Structure 1
Amino acid sequence: MDVATDPVAVVARLRDEPWDRKWNSLEVAGVDLVSLDTRLGGCAHTWVANSGCLHERGMSTVRLVLDQLERVMPELTEDDSPAVWHRLHETARLIVAHNTPPADQLS
């Protein structure tokens, strides 16, 4: 798998995109963007550092963030900086779709 299609590499690239301070106050459908970014960012960091492996507690957080993002997406307007929400959605979606549970969770 090359860097362009490797989910871990894609998440690493998405995670490293810059944060604009104007997003600090964005909230859509009762969901705060900073909170989503913080929670997902920690899980994405761990997932990338562990080559696509995240424990169940982290995966629960990622699934919760993904659910919240899917609730928010239809409500977005151009004023809501939709690209940043879509970036977080793609990050969460890739982690959920490509996670390899730790060996101690497979038994």
Structure 2
Amino acid sequence: MSECPVCQTHYISGDSDRCSVCGWDLTPYPSTLSQSLPSEFWQREEAKLAWARQMWVRVLSSHPTVGDEALSLLKEQFAKIQGELEEAQQERQLLRSQLQKLLPQLDPTLAESES
């Protein structure tokens, strides 16, 4: 799992272009492009990131509920994902039991085709 460089929120790479908490652009630069960019570009990018981190700290210190709201949102998302996971596990168990019931019916068919 990756971490937002501004607010350190965990996210899954490729799922979103922006951080769900602070809005930072999470789109990575293509490796072919990043190798050809001059060092001045990367220095400006680092300066932007440092500024964004400072602004995030200011926002959190002046509005402590922002962190609470973000945490609440993350907990909500976690609960949703956890529910989906439990549902998928139940579906998988149901499919497994259905398959086990069908296997004895398939075995005689396979035995007949081999003779």
Work out which structure has the larger RCO, using CA pairs closer than 8 Å and 6 or more positions apart in sequence: 1
Structure with bigger gyration radius: 2
Give the structure-1-normalised TM-score: 0.30
Give the structure-2-normalised TM-score: 0.28
